Amino acid sequence: MDFDYDLFVIGGGSGGVRAARVAAGEAGAKVALAEGDRYGGTCVIRGCVPKKLMVFASEYSGMAAEAEAYGWSASITDFNWNTFHGKLVEELDRLEGVYRRLLAGSGVETFDQRAKIADAHTVELADGTRKTAKHILIATGGTPVRPDMPGAELGIVSDDIFHLPEMPKRILIVGGGYIACEFAGIMNGLGVETTLYYRGAQILRGFDDEARGLIADEMRDNGIDIHTGTNVLEMKKTDSGAIWTKGSNGHEAEFDVVLFATGRKPMTDDMGLEEVGVKLGRAGEIVVDKYSQTAVPSIYAIGDVTNRVNLTPVAIREGMAFVETVFKGNKTAVDHDLIPSAVFTQPEMGTVGLSEEQAAQQEPIEVYSTSFRPMQTSFAGQQKRVLMKLIVSKETRKVLGCHIVAPGAGEMIQMAGIAVKMGATKEDFDRVCAVHPTMSEELVTMRKPTRTA
Q: Is 217 annotated as a binding residue?
A: no
CA distances from 357 to 207, 209, 336 (A): 9, 7, 20
Q: Are 204 and 176 in contact (CB under 8 A)?
A: yes
SS3 at position 284: coil
Q: Are 153 and 27 in contact (CB under 8 A)?
A: no
Q: Is 134 annotated as a binding residue?
A: no
What span, in angstroms and rounded, lies between the C-alpha atoms of 89 and 67? 30
Q: Are 392 and 366 in contact (CB under 8 A)?
A: yes
Which residue in the list 85, 163, 227, 436 is annotated as catalytic? 436
Q: Is 48 annotated as a binding residue?
A: no
Q: Is 406 annotated as a binding residue?
A: no
- Does the CA dihedral 164-167-170-175 come out positive or negative? positive
Q: Is 301 annotated as a binding residue?
A: no
Cα dihedral 304/308/310/311 (nearest 10): -110
CA distances from 196 to 184, 210, 414 (A): 7, 20, 29
Task: Give the H/E segment covering residue 179.
Answer: helix 178-189
H-type alpha helices, 222-298: 273-276
Q: Is 223 annotated as a binding residue?
A: no
DSSP state of 68: H
Q: Are 300 and 322 in contact (CB under 8 A)?
A: yes
Strand 365-372 to strand 386-393: parallel, antiparallel, or no bridges (unpaired)? antiparallel
SS3 at position 91: helix
Q: Are 268 and 252 in contact (CB under 8 A)?
A: no
Strand 349-353 to strand 170-174: parallel, antiparallel, or no bridges (unpaired)? unpaired
Is 436 catalytic? The answer is yes
Q: Is 304 annotated as a binding residue?
A: yes
What span, in angstroms and rounded, lies between the C-alpha atoms of 308 and 352? 16
Q: Is 177 annotated as a binding residue?
A: yes
Q: Is 182 annotated as a binding residue?
A: yes
What span, in angstroms and rounded, lies between the C-alpha atoms of 59 and 52? 11
Q: Which long-range contacts (CB under 8 A, 24 or more apart) does 159-168 make?
A: 159/46, 161/259, 162/46, 162/50, 162/54, 162/85, 162/88, 164/81, 164/85, 164/257, 166/81, 166/82, 167/79, 167/81, 167/191, 167/192, 168/192, 168/255, 168/256, 168/257
Residue positions forming the annotated binding site: 52, 175-182, 263, 304
Q: Which residues sit in the known binding site for FAD?
A: 52, 304
Catalytic residue annotation: 436
| Residue list for the binding site for NAD(+) | 175-182, 263
